[in-house]
Amino acid sequence: MRVLPIVSLAVTTALLSLAKASAQNLKVAVRALSDKELQAALDEVVRQDNANMPMRIDDRLRLDSVVTRPGEIVIYNYTYVAKASFQRKKEYLEEFLRPTIRSRTLASRNWRALLPAGVSVVHRFRDIDGKFIGDVLVSAADLREPKTPNQSLQPTADRRK
């Protein structure tokens, strides 16, 4: 299985160019950015990442797009493309994807700099028919409470890609 994308190299480049800092000072660079600069950097990263979409992650998943939302939220939109029951898809999300995404995000140097600055990342999963399977949310709260299980966001009628 390929490693799920957690953050592109472009995020480091965009943030460092905005803050004019060295790679050793990534956390300082992120903290030095205004909310507007941080949002602009995230928007640029998303623009660059989407140039490579859709991208097949493995035999079950396709990464369709990455979007940002106001408030420094980055959303990765996935489609579960393999044939399986809806229940099996939910189980795969809960048993494999959630802990894998969470641990890889928290281990990422880039995300460890971005999360304390208020950036949150959501990995959103839908089935091939567009039915919402679930979200994996990682935020600064996960840095403070690493042993707390990450809870999924509840599905709502207005979920957008």
Determine what percent of the chain is predicted with pLDDT higher than 90.
45
Written out in words, the top-level CATH class of the domain with range 9-144 is alpha beta
What's the angle, vertex CA 76, arms to CA 73 and CA 78, rounded to 5? 150
The CB density around residue 42, as the number of other CB atoms within 10 Å, is 22
pLDDT at residue number 11: 53
pTM, entire model = 0.73
pLDDT tens column, 63-97: 999 999 887 899 999 999 999 999 999 999 999 99
CA 135 to CA 153: how far, in whole Å? 6
Single-letter amino acid, residue 158: D
Locate all alpha helices (DSSP H) within 68-122, ordered by sequence.
Answer: 86-92, 98-107, 109-114
